[in-house]
Amino acid sequence: MTATIIDGRAVARRMQAEIQTGADQVASRLGRRPGLGVVLVGDDPASAMYVRMKQRACERVGIQSSASLLPASAAQAEVENAVRAFNDDADIDGILVQLPLPDSIDEEAVLNEISLSKDVDGIHPVNLGRLGMRGRNPTFTPATPTGVMRLIAESGIELSGKEAVVIGRSNIVGLPIALMLTNADATVTRCHSRTVDLPMVTRRADIVVAAVGQPELVKADWLKPGAVVIDVGSNSLPDPTSDKGYRYVGDVDFEQARDVAGWLTKVPGGVGPMTITMLLANTLKAAQA
């Protein structure tokens, strides 16, 4: 079997064109563009790069972005005040607090400050709680998991009654993906570093989502033939043959998995472009509300 590749770049491109049209409509209706406020604390190069990528994507679709850049030494009150300033700013529709925050900062206290109507990253504890409760609707859901769900939906894959396995249980990726798959009526098993015999668990899954951070962990013989495999992982490996000296790989061994899976995402070009796109989509939705 050769897997059908789920092309995240193509879906993201199409969605971003629609977001651009929506942002233009907001601009003519409100006399201002949709606005995203970004809070970045410290000088972690990966976080700074993610913020730059998100700001560039905003520019491309006509969303205005403002950044509050604070040093790693910032006090708890300064970080919370940066969030409050965006809450009070009528030109800002959505707020993104780039995680992780420095260890000295109480992350939950900061996230609690985000106005629910501006929580476009879906990580306010109330929104994550609502995602896990029956009959409750979060104002927004987190970007990466929402992107994963969108890729599955775009591929026409039915989730109801299917066996899904999510590897990884982080607050921003693994946990919300498991909740969203459950809400879509899949039967979900959540795996983590203490799971015994992970391949045995994944082999029974119709849908495998890997959000681990371990390069090419998931091998061909971990998969049921025909399974839908969504690779969230983004790991850089040294590669002297590349100009940059490194290359990105996912948590799934792509070359092996493509011979067994029915559907498969690539890294790069799968979930990554969808993460930014869902943040843009949520910011537009906040501006339209």
The catalytic site residues sit at: 54, 98, 121
Length of the chain: 289
Q: With beta carbons less than 8 A apart as the criterion, state whether 80 and 110 touch.
A: yes
Nearer to ligand NDP, 249 or 284 (CB): 249
**Minimal distance in Å, beta carbon 25 to ligand NDP?**
27
State the residues that interact with ligand NDP by CB under 6 A. 144, 167-170, 172-174, 191-195, 198, 211-214, 232-235, 271-272, 275
Q: Give whichever of 33 and 124 is closer to ligand NDP, judged by the CB atom.
A: 124
Cα distances (Å, whole numbers) of residue 231 to 5, 19, 79, 192: 11, 25, 33, 15
C-beta closer to ligand NDP: residue 105 or 173: 173
Residue 183 or 195: which CB sits closer to ligand NDP? 195
Rounded to a whole number of angstroms, the minimum distance from the CB of residue 77 to ligand NDP is 27
Q: How far is CA 198 from CA 23, 31, 72, 190, 281, in A?
A: 44, 53, 38, 10, 35
Two tokens, residue 274: 């969808």
Q: Is the dihedral of CA 231, 121, 174, 217 positive or negative?
A: positive
* 192-208 core/surface letters (b: 16 or more CB in 10 A; e: else): eeeeeebeebbbebbbb
Residue with nearest beta carbon to ligand NDP: 170
Distance CA 221, CA 114 (A): 44
